């Protein structure tokens, strides 16, 4: 219960900081430059996929196993091996990305080019932060990992943006805001490193390292592929908009997605709480109890999501104008589309999570891969003519496909209906 309460507080803080920062930045930068800033962060997220490639999750698993068995030499070896590999990968990715940016500098324009160049500095900062947080989770310090990952960086950024706006230090240059993000990421990584150093077992620190490089490399492949598909799916809309549409469309879509995401926030929190229970009930073959828990969860999340969705659909235009400014009222149509999609996502229930907890993760991965390909095709077809609205339509159709197929798969595999209906 304590961990659940901490998780809810951290999630609420993360959401609040995200909204406050987005409001400050949209007011400071305007739609076009805010779009460049969002596009830069999306590119950075994609570039960190090869540098991480499932390494944080692998270290969570390896350190947890080593801790349980007292294999201090293996724990030390895993730590050193992952740090060295990630350092090499980060340097290689930064060099490659800088070369590509230099080639396409004229096509990008100076403003976007400068923002992306500063963004390259985020590659090692975000990669090592993810790795250290993965190690903290493996050592059992989940709450500290969540604080480091979801609170410190956005809190530092929010404070820096507030200070720069209050003292009128900078104007509307997105590269300068990326620099603020870089400083906040560096501060967050420093704190995270200190936390890991203090909580890393003394026995492991003093042990001679033992390496299982081949075994670890084999374990990275499925984890890396899964993380690649997940991140690409999350960043696809912003990335395609940044290439095929106006910079302002990127900003409009980001704000619409941020607000629509509130509809599914309760489902996200509930998933983190119920996931272990789903796994336990399925393992013990207590199907009736599992069915009851799923039904209650979906009813609860739907009761919260439906009124929230109605507020955004009916009052979204007023909210956009009042909170973000008149220029962002264009985001209303994408907001409605994404809100409806997130509502459907919530009502259809935790279908992906249920299959993962029941050991059918391959089903989930296959459907995710198919949904990603469909989403990519839809984005390429719709974004050039419809901009942010096209991206919202493509995302909504992908979510409906994803949830619809997995809903049917849950009924086939587990005999459970996730709809919030009686019986």
Other residues' Cβ atoms within 10 Å of the Cβ of residue 307:
10
Helix (H) or strand (E) holding 26: helix 2-52
Is the separation of the CB atoms in 278 and 293 below 8 Å?
A: yes
Q: Which residues neighbour 95 within 8 Å (Cβ) at sequence distance 6 or greater?
A: none
pLDDT at 82: 93
How high is the pLDDT of residue 340?
A: 96
Residue of 48, 41, 44 whose CA lies nearest to 21? 41
Q: What is the model's pLDDT at position 8? A: 65
Q: What's the CA gap between 128 and 192, in Å, rounded?
A: 9
Q: What is the pLDDT of residue 169?
A: 61
Strand, helix or coil at 349? Answer: coil
| Contacts for 129 with CB less than 8 Å, ≥ 6 apart | 148, 149, 153, 185, 188, 189, 192
Instruction: State how far the Cα of 248 lies from the Cα of 175, in Å rounded to an integer.
Output: 16
Cα–Cα distance for residue pair 405/227, rounded to 1 Å: 21
Cα–Cα nearest to 338, from 411, 416, 218, 252: 252
Between the alpha carbon of residue 203 and those of residues 44, 145, 300, the distances in Å are: 36, 21, 46
Give this prediction's pTM: 0.85
Distance separating the N- and C-terminal Cα atoms of the chain: 29
**What does the chain come to in residues?**
423
Closest to 332 (Cα-Cα) out of 350, 346, 315, 352? 315
What is the predicted pLDDT for the residue at 415?
A: 87
Q: Where on the phi/psi map is residue 62: left (φ > 0), alpha (ψ -120 to 50), or beta?
A: alpha
Closest listed residue to residue 252, CA positions, set 377, 173, 338: 338
Task: Give the start-end residues of each E strand in 353-406.
Answer: none
Neighbours of 155 (CB within 10 A): 18
Q: How many CA atoms lie within 13 A of 211 on its CB side?
A: 9
395 neighbors 338 (Cβ within 8 angstroms): yes
- State the Cα–Cα distance between residues 334 and 253, nearest whole angstrom: 7
Question: 10 Å Cβ neighbour count for 3?
Answer: 12
**Cα 29 to chain centroid, rounded:** 23
* The predicted structure's pLDDT at residue 170: 60
List of the chain residues with pLDDT < 70: 1-8, 167-171, 272, 276, 421-423
pLDDT computed for residue 1 by the predictor: 46
pLDDT of res. 167:
66
User: 398: which 2 tokens?
Assistant: 């992908």
């Amino acid at each position: 219960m304590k961990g659940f309460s901490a998780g809810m507080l951290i999630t609420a803080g993360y959401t609040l900081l995200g909204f406050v920062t987005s409001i400050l930045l949209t007011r400071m930068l305007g739609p076009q430059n805010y779009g460049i800033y969002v596009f830069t962060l999306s590119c950075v997220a994609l570039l960190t996929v090869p540098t991480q490639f499932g390494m944080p999750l692998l270290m969570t698993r390896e350190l947890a196993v080593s801790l349980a068995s007292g294999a201090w030499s293996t724990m030390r070896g895993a730590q050193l091996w992952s740090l060295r590999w990630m350092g090499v990968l980060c340097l290689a990715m930064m060099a490659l990305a800088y070369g590509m940016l230099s080639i396409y500098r004229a096509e990008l324009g100076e403003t976007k080019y400068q923002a992306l160049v500063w963004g390259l500095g985020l590659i090692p900062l975000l990669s090592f932060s993810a790795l250290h947080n993965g190690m903290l989770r493996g050592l059992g310090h989940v709450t500290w990992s969540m604080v480091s990952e979801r609170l410190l960086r956005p809190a530092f950024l929010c404070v820096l943006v507030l200070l720069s706006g209050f003292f009128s230090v900078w104007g509307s240059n997105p590269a300068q805001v990326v620099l603020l993000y870089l400083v906040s990421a560096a501060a967050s990584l420093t704190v995270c490193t200190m936390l890991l150093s203090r909580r890393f077992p003394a026995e492991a620190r003093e042990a001679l390292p033992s390496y299982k490089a081949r075994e670890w490399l084999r374990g990275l492949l499925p984890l890396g592929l899964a993380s690649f598909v997940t991140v690409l799916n999350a960043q696809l809309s912003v990335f395609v908009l940044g290439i095929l549409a106006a910079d302002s469309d990127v900003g409009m879509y980001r704000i619409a997605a941020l607000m629509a995401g509130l509809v599914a926030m309760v489902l996200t929190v509930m998933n983190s709480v119920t996931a272990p229970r789903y796994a336990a009930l399925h393992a013990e073959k207590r199907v009736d109890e599992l069915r009851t828990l799923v039904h209650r969860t979906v009813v609860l999340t739907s009761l919260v999501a439906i009124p929230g969705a109605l507020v955004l659909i009916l009052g979204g235009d007023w909210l956009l104008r009042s909170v973000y400014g008149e220029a962002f009222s264009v985001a209303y149509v994408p907001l409605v589309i994404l809100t409806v999609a997130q509502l459907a996502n919530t009502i259809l229930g935790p279908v992906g999570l249920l299959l993962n907890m029941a050991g059918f993760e391959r089903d989930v991965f296959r459907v995710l891969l198919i949904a990603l390909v469909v989403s990519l095709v839809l984005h390429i077809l719709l974004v050039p003519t419809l901009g942010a609205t096209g991206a919202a339509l493509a995302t909504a159709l992908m979510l409906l496909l994803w949830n619809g197929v997995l809903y049917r798969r849950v009924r086939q595999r587990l005999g459970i209906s996730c709809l919030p209906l009686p019986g």
